[in-house]
Structure 1
Amino acid sequence: MEVRDSAAVKADTKKVSSRVLEMLALEGKVTETGAMTMRCSGFDADEKVYRARHPWSVYDASFADMRAAFDRLRGELPKNGWKIVKDGPDGTAGKSPQIVAESEGGDFAVDARLHEENRAQNAPALLTVTVESACYKGSGTS
């Protein structure tokens, strides 16, 4: 397993997220969350094995525009070296459309979901994206 600096992995993850946002080409507001470091599951607690994770959402756009952007992402990911490994409803009660893709080389994964507005729960329409790095061995503090 590759030894990497957590700050560098978080920066790379954020760059990949920015590229996914460009592929969406969706005008709306984007939540401003930063990439974070978390432990990879399946490793002993004393092993310093991490991944970077960058979740964000686009909101304040019409659902029709979000759907078009989601469809655009479906076409753009393979053109940009990504392999779509899932394209269908997620496991939620609402069965939101979900695309899961892995980058060439397996360095990153993206999980995109399209959520319709739910007025009963006062939830706006959202296009959510989470980009995760592959697991790496930390070279210092996370």
Structure 2
Amino acid sequence: MEILLVISMAATLTGCSGMSGSDEAPEIREVDVARTDAVTYAEQIREIIGLPGKLSDAGPKVTPCGEKDFEKYYSLGHFWSLYDVPVADMEKAMVRLKGELPAHGWKIDHYGPDSSRAKSLELTAVTTKKKYSLSITLLDRRGRSDDPSMISVALGSACLQVPEGSKVDI
């Protein structure tokens, strides 16, 4: 359930779920360049968080971009989480992210409780430089679940297009 929520949220953030409303043509970018951008952003976010702990990170994934031809158009999602850290330290990290992300080219769209029943602390941001969106949520599960509390990160690109003569390389 949680994974589906994150994937749905990333599609909404990146604009790949409902692209028909946009007249802007997708930016042309090689898949390897987009992957490198996602890794760079993830490293930047981890540095700002600045906490030891365990990471779940499968790396950036190439996904279809709505109904567009997947041989030419794609988006990139990078989902990971940090856990095994005291919740109080994660709360401080969220404040740090809110304060420091703008200096790295991110525009904060929202900082506060999300729409879930738990009202988890959420930060959403966008960068127009490379057309990525970001959603970071502090999932405080103390006393509610055996699952660990964590900071969950969903980073996604806008819809992108490979250069003429290239195909999407998964």
* TM-score normalised by the chain length of structure 2: 0.75
Alpha-carbon distance change, 131 to 32 in structure 1, aligned in 2, over 3 angstroms: same
Q: Percent identity?
A: 31
User: Residues 86 and 47 of structure 1: is their aligned pair in 2 closer, same or farther, counting only changes over 3 Å?
Assistant: farther
| Contact map agreement 1:39 1:48 (CA 8 A) in 2 | no
What is aligned with 2:61? 36
- Which residue of 2 is the match for residue 24 of structure 1? 49
**Count of residue pairs the alignment pairs up:** 141
Is residue 102 of structure 1 aligned with residue 126 of structure 2? yes
Q: Which runs of 5+ in 2 are unaligned?
A: 1-25
- Tell me, in whole angstroms, the C-alpha distance in 1 between the residues paired with 2:42 and 2:70: 30
Give the alignment of 1:68-83 within 5 angstroms: 68-83=92-107
Q: 1:10 to 1:106 in 2, by over 3 A?
A: closer
- 3-state DSSP of counterpart to 1:31: strand
Match of 2:158 in 1: 134
Q: Which runs of 4+ in 1 moved over 6 A?
A: none
2:91 paired with 1:67: yes
Matches for 1:3-22 after TM superposition, within 5 Å: 3-22=28-47
Match of 2:74 among 31, 40, 50: 50
How many angstroms does 1:77 deviate by?
0.7
Please list the CA deviations of residues 85-114 of structure 1 after superposition, one character each: whole Å capped at 9, or x if unmatched. Answer: 111222222111110001143521111000
Looking at structure 2, the residues matched to 19 and 54 of structure 1 have their Cα atoms a distance apart, in angstroms, of 13
Give the superposition deviation at 1:51: 1.0
Aligned to 2:116, what secondary structure does the other structure show? coil
Query: Which string of whole-angstrom CA distances, capped at 9 and with x for unpartnered residues, describes residues 8-39 of structure 1?
Result: 21121111111111111122111132110111
Residues 53 and 131 of structure 1 are in contact (CA less than 8 Å); yes or no, is this contact kept in structure 2? yes
3-state SS of 2:141 partner: coil
Distance 1:49 1:3 in 2: 9
Which string of whole-angstrom CA distances, capped at 9 and with x for unpartnered residues, describes residues 99-138 of structure 1?
Answer: 0001143521111000112444312110011111221013
Q: Is 21-30 or 98-107 further displaced after alignment?
A: 98-107
